[in-house]
Amino acid sequence: MPWCESCGARAMDQSERLVDLDHRNRYTGGDRALNEEILQLFDAQCQETTTKLELLAQSEGPGGKTWRELTHTLKGAARGVGAFPVADVAAAAEKLIPDRVAVIETIERLKAKSAATHLYIQALIAAAR
C-alpha cells in the first residue's frame, strides 16, 4: 500500500523519507497540485540557498548575519514542508562558528542532502503524474 495516497509513492521506512508527506499533507489537505507547487518552490529555494551558503563560506565564513539569516530561513522552510533532514543540517549550520573544517563538512552535508531531496521531490512529482 502506498504511503502517500495523493501521489502513489511506495511505502518506505521513515528513515528513507527526505520529505515527511504526512506533515506536509496536514497543511495542504493532500491537495496534489498545491503539494507539487510547494515542493517545487522549496526545491528551488534549497538549491539557491545552498549555493549562496557555499559562496559565503568561501568568502566570509559562518557566524555573520547573512550566514545566520540564510541558514535560519532554510531551516524554517525545510521544516515547513517536512524536509526534516535538510532542516537538521541547516540548524547545525546556523550554529557554526568560524571553523574552516566544520564549514566545509557542513556545506558538503547540506549539498548532499539538498541533492538527495531534489531527486526525491522529482520522483514524487513524476509518480503523481
Give the residue with greater pLDDT, 34 vs 1: 34
Matching residue, cell 550554529: 95
Asked if the model's pLDDT at residue 11 lies above 90, the reply is no
pLDDT(13) > 70: no
Concatenate the DSSP letters of all residues of 18-41 into one string: SS-HHHHHHHHTT-HHHHHHHHHH
Where are the extended beta strands (E) located within 1-129? none
Cα–Cα distance between 57 and 51 in angstroms, integer?
Answer: 10
pLDDT tens-digit readout, 62-117: 778 899 999 999 999 999 999 999 999 999 999 887 777 888 899 999 999 999 99
Query: Rounded to two decimals, what is the model's pTM?
Result: 0.83
In tens, the pLDDT along 33-72 reads 999 999 999 999 999 999 999 998 888 777 788 999 999 9
- What is the pLDDT confidence band of residue 16, given thresholds at 50, 70 and 90? low
Distance CA 106, CA 51 (A): 13
Q: Which domains does the chain have, with CATH numbers?
A: 33-128 (1.20.120)
What pLDDT is stored for residue 9 in this prediction? Answer: 46
The single-letter DSSP state of residue 98 is S
